[in-house]
Amino acid sequence: MIEHKSHPTGFNSMKATHTRFPSSPFDAPTLLTSQTICHNGGGRSGAFLALDANLELLKKTGQIDVYEYGKILINARPHLIDSVDQYQFIYDALAEAVLCNIEPIEMWKLKKRSSMYKAKKNRQVMEAQVANEVKLLVMLTPTLRIGDCAGGHRLENRGKNRDVMVVPRRFLYYIISF
């Protein structure tokens, strides 16, 4: 039996399933994925829709209104956002988006940013930016407790652990295709 989760697990799952079509007849973002549908078509779909709408609102006005968008979704279709966990996911993902200032870097900016390493003064600025990004990542990454990795060291699980010298099967065809 497939286990259904009532909410997505992180902002990256939203990014991985989010596709925009600018030529949409309604000029609105379209959310496409087979992963966002659960038991009755609600649940995760509602969380993704509320998250997407709030990210668009944040981009346009600099504000977030989870309650209002949640109310609109629930009035349009009951149980589209069904649990406290789904609201928690929406708030967590929005907090992560605000903290990380998630925006794509345009190619010309990326080229300019990477060329800043050539000059010593600019290199120091870049190293400071990288240090700030590392601090942010450390803050957002949960710390592992003592028992979190213990299962891999148990005698019954040692044979299941992959040797670092062995390429996983799913990546083997890349090597063979040369």
Per-residue pLDDT tens digits for 61-120: 989 999 999 899 889 888 888 888 889 999 988 988 888 876 666 778 877 777 777 777
Which amino acid, 166? V
Name every residue whose Cβ is closer than 8 Å to that of residue 100 and which is 6 or more positions away in sequence: 136, 140
- Number of residues that make up the chain: 178
Residue 99's nearest CA partner among 58, 127, 60 is 58
Confidence of residue 173 (pLDDT cuts 50, 70, 90): low
- The predicted-structure confidence for 132-146, as pLDDT tens digits, reads as follows 888 888 887 778 777
Tokens representing residue 154 in the block: 């148990």
pLDDT in the model for residue 155: 77
Distance of CA 27 to the CA centre of its chain: 24
pLDDT in the model for residue 64: 92
2 pLDDT exceeds 50?
no
Q: What does residue 31 show for φ and ψ, rounded to 5 degrees?
A: -105, 115
User: Helices (H) and strands (E) in the chain — how many of each?
Assistant: 7, 0
27 pLDDT exceeds 50?
no
Residue 42 to residue 66: CA distance in whole angstroms? 17
Confidence of residue 125 (pLDDT cuts 50, 70, 90): confident
Strand partners, 53: none
